[in-house]
């Protein structure tokens, strides 16, 4: 195991240490994660797994507060989303943190829907310690480079299909009257859609 003893205070509990399980199939990336975590106080690696069975064994054999899961499990027969669902189902107290190489919003949204509460970009491993502590304390951690885009996409998903069309046309620079012509509807109908989507997106009308 790796890490240093200490105290971590959270709103829910006092942890004498934070136990982490790494789910990773790339040996080089495992080494990078181990190196990043081993210099952090209070954080210990309690297991490294490459398969669903190994994840289950690691989490049943030792305590685990945070699971780090690479979004791209190279060579594995199990996807990261399957891993996340399995962990959320069997070990609901553990926080799932997605490690992602490229900030693809669709992939992140799918992982979040499956139960990943935390996301960090792999080129920000210098922030991994803070991310793990945040997750262990019961707070959500979303990498700063993707948080605004992720929130925006979640807001867009609250729009109706017609509102999304209106939004897309407005993004292209079309005026309300032009959008009405394009959608073959009235000016006032489009105006009402604009008011509704602005309210949902918390944007200025």
Q: 165 and 80: one domain?
A: no
pLDDT digits (tens, 9 = 90+) for 9-38: 344 555 678 999 999 999 999 999 999 999
Q: 27 and 102: one domain?
A: yes
Question: Is 28 within a domain?
Answer: yes
Question: Is 3 within a domain?
Answer: no
Q: 78: which DSSP letter?
A: S
Question: Is 23 within a domain?
Answer: yes
Q: What is the rounded distance in angstroms from the CA atom of residue 61 to the CA atom of residue 59?
A: 6
Q: Model-level pTM?
A: 0.72
Enter the tokens of residue 122.
């792999």
CATH of the domain at 165: 1.10.10.10
**What is the structure's pLDDT at 8?**
37
Q: What is the rounded distance in angstroms from the CA atom of residue 139 to the CA atom of residue 169?
A: 37
Question: Is 151 within a domain?
Answer: no
Largest Cα–Cα separation, the chain: 67
Give the total number of structural domains in the chain. Answer: 2
pLDDT digits (tens, 9 = 90+) for 125-172: 999 999 999 999 999 999 988 877 777 777 888 889 999 999 999 999
Q: 163 and 193: one domain?
A: yes
Q: 119 and 195: one domain?
A: no
Domain that holds residue 131: 8-144
Q: What is the rounded distance in angstroms from the CA atom of residue 161 to the CA atom of residue 184?
A: 15
pLDDT digits (tens, 9 = 90+) for 49-88: 999 899 999 988 888 999 999 998 887 878 899 999 989 9
CATH of the domain at 20: 3.40.50.2300
Place of tokens 């899961």: 69
């Amino acid at each position: 195991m790796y890490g240093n003893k200490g105290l971590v205070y959270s709103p829910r509990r006092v942890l004498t240490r934070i136990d982490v399980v790494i789910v990773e199939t790339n040996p080089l990336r495992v080494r990078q994660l181990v190196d990043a975590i081993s210099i952090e106080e209070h954080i210990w690696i309690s297991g490294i797994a490459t398969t669903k069975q190994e994840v289950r064994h690691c989490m049943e054999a030792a305590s685990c507060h945070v699971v780090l899961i690479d979004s791209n499990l190279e060579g594995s027969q199990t996807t990261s989303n399957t891993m996340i669902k399995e962990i959320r189902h069997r070990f609901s107290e553990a926080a799932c943190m997605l490690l992602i190489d490229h900030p693809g919003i669709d992939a992140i949204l799918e992982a979040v829907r499956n139960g990943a509460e935390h996301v960090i970009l792999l080129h920000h491993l210098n922030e991994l310690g803070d991310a793990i502590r945040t997750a262990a304390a019961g707070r959500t951690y979303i990498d700063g480079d993707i948080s605004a885009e992720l929130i925006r996409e979640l807001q867009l998903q609250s729009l109706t299909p017609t509102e999304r069309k209106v939004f897309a046309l407005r993004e292209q620079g079309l005026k309300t009257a032009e959008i009405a012509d394009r959608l073959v509807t009235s000016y006032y109908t489009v105006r009402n859609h604009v008011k509704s989507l602005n309210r949902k997106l918390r944007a200025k009308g």
